[in-house]
Amino acid sequence: MTDAKRYGLRGVSAAKGDVHKAIKNLNQGLFPKAFCKIYPDILGGDDQFVNITHADGAGTKSILAYLYWKETGDLSVWKGIAQDALVMNTDDLLCAGATNNLIVSSIINRNKHLIPGEVLQALIQGTEEFLDTLRHHNINIQLMGGETADVGDAIRTVMVDAVMSVRYPKATVISNEKIQPGDVIVGLASFGKALYEQTYNSGIGSNGLTSARHDTLAHIYAQNYPEAYDPQTPEGLVYCGNKLLTDPLEGTPLDIGKALLSPTRTYLPILKPFIEEHFEDIHGLIHCSGGAQTKVLHYIDSGHVIKDNLFQCPPLFQLIQATSGTEWLEMYQVFNMGHRMEVYTNEKTAEKLIHHSKKFGVEAKIIGRIAPSTDKKLTLESEHGIFEY
């Protein structure tokens, strides 16, 4: 069975073909190549400003938190889920240049029979703690309340999402339209321990967790927690790995459960001041979320993207591949594989960014470049082979 078919039978897709088909005829906003949809300033009526609203969430990562909490009683994992829901919004908005004075509304849909008040409290506390961390880096994000709904007939466990909005100066939008041949690509590592993080980060982010969970973890979790998977998924694809949540992950200080639950790293503390100082030299920003290392192909019309100096594949992704047998070509389409933020710029600015990022404990390096091409394509040269997309 192909990897794509395995993902489809689990009800997920790395390419999101149905989604892109459904929205292809919608208005793409003022800057069609920008990472977020950008509209005229209907809030203030000022043509020098734009409005940006973005919605995203922690996805099926919340099921991993549910399993870990049920198995260990550790409520702290829910704080990470709150961060996941926020960062999947903040760092998409970051890619459009919006790094400050954001407003956010939190959305929690739960099955009340399984998700008690103490979990809600941990989620809300996690939201406040993460926003407070950002405030220490001069990043103002105001929580404007939200919605908590008890919808057990629709939600098996819990979904944690957020919506963010900002009114932003039009002149400082990063539209990705300046990405061009001659640009180098700086990758900012997704793994390790940033100075603004509490613990080591596996780098997992919030994408590919359905496959990671089922392919890595043992079938005992399906037997003990039938609420933790879709019953329409074929039995042979449900928790078909051989690992326990509390097994150690070799090469890291984490167990496998905590590695899979590593809170999605934000790059705001690093890139906010850098963008403010070097805006003119930043040609594009790509958040390697859905679509992972192929994400950039959605934001250019032509050019040969060559990534030939990637980070060494972190231990968690090595484990996922080994337990699942997923082809490496597909791994790079589903998981970030070591860097989750890309900055497209010139070599001089790239070197400044690399030095700047390391001050925050986050490794950065030039991982590739843009070469001339009338076609749109990506060549990825990795320790596991050369792949064309």
Instruction: Give the pLDDT band (50/70/90) at residue 131.
Output: very high
Percent above pLDDT 90 for the chain? 92
**CATH no. for residue 61?**
3.90.650.10
Q: What mean pLDDT do residues 99-112 have?
A: 97
Q: What mean pLDDT do residues 304-331 have?
A: 96
Q: Compute the distance between CA of residue 181 and CA of residue 211 in angstroms, rounded to an integer.
A: 35
Instruction: Give the pLDDT band (50/70/90) at residue 12.
Output: low
What is the length of the chain? 389
Q: What mean pLDDT do residues 79-95 have?
A: 98
Q: With a threshold of 0.85, does the pTM exceed it?
A: yes
Q: What is the pLDDT of residue 28?
A: 77
Q: Compute the distance between CA of residue 381 and CA of residue 221 in angstroms, rounded to an integer.
A: 37
Q: What is the pLDDT of residues 280-297, one digit of tens each?
A: 999 999 999 999 999 999
Instruction: Give the pLDDT band (50/70/90) at residue 323.
Output: very high
CB contact at 8 A, 191 and 338: yes
Residue 80, SS3 per DSSP: helix
pLDDT value at 20 more than 60: no
Q: What is the pLDDT of residue 167?
A: 97
Across the strands, what pairs with 284?
A: 344
Which residue range(s) make up the domain with 358?
Answer: 3-388
Instruction: Give the pLDDT band (50/70/90) at residue 2.
Output: low
Q: What is the pLDDT of residues 48-62, one digit of tens each?
A: 999 999 999 999 999
Q: What is the pLDDT of residue 4?
A: 54
Q: What mean pLDDT do residues 248-270 have?
A: 98
Q: What is the pLDDT of residue 27?
A: 72
Q: Cβ atoms within 10 A of the Cβ of 260, count?
A: 27
Q: What is the pLDDT of residue 9?
A: 64
Residue 341, SS3 per DSSP: strand
Q: What is the pLDDT of residue 256?
A: 98
Across the strands, what pairs with 304?
A: 371, 377
Instruction: Give the pLDDT band (50/70/90) at residue 29.
Output: confident
Q: What is the pLDDT of residues 346-363, one digit of tens each?
A: 999 999 999 999 999 999
Dihedral, CA atoms, 113, 117, 118, 119, nearest 10 degrees? 60
What residue type is 21 in one-letter code?
A: K
User: Kind and range of the H or E element at 286?
Assistant: strand 284-287
Q: What mean pLDDT do residues 190-198 have?
A: 97
Report the range of poorest mean pLDDT among 18-22, 24-28, 36-40, 245-249: 18-22
CB contact at 8 A, 337 and 292: yes
Please give the C-alpha separations between residue 356 and each of 195, 271, 301, 313, in angstroms, as whole numbers.
13, 9, 31, 23
pLDDT value at 278 more than 60: yes
CA 44, distance to chain mean position in Å, is: 31
What residue type is 269 in one-letter code?
A: P
Q: What is the pLDDT of residue 154?
A: 94
Q: What is the mean pLDDT of the chain?
A: 94
- Total domains, the chain: 1
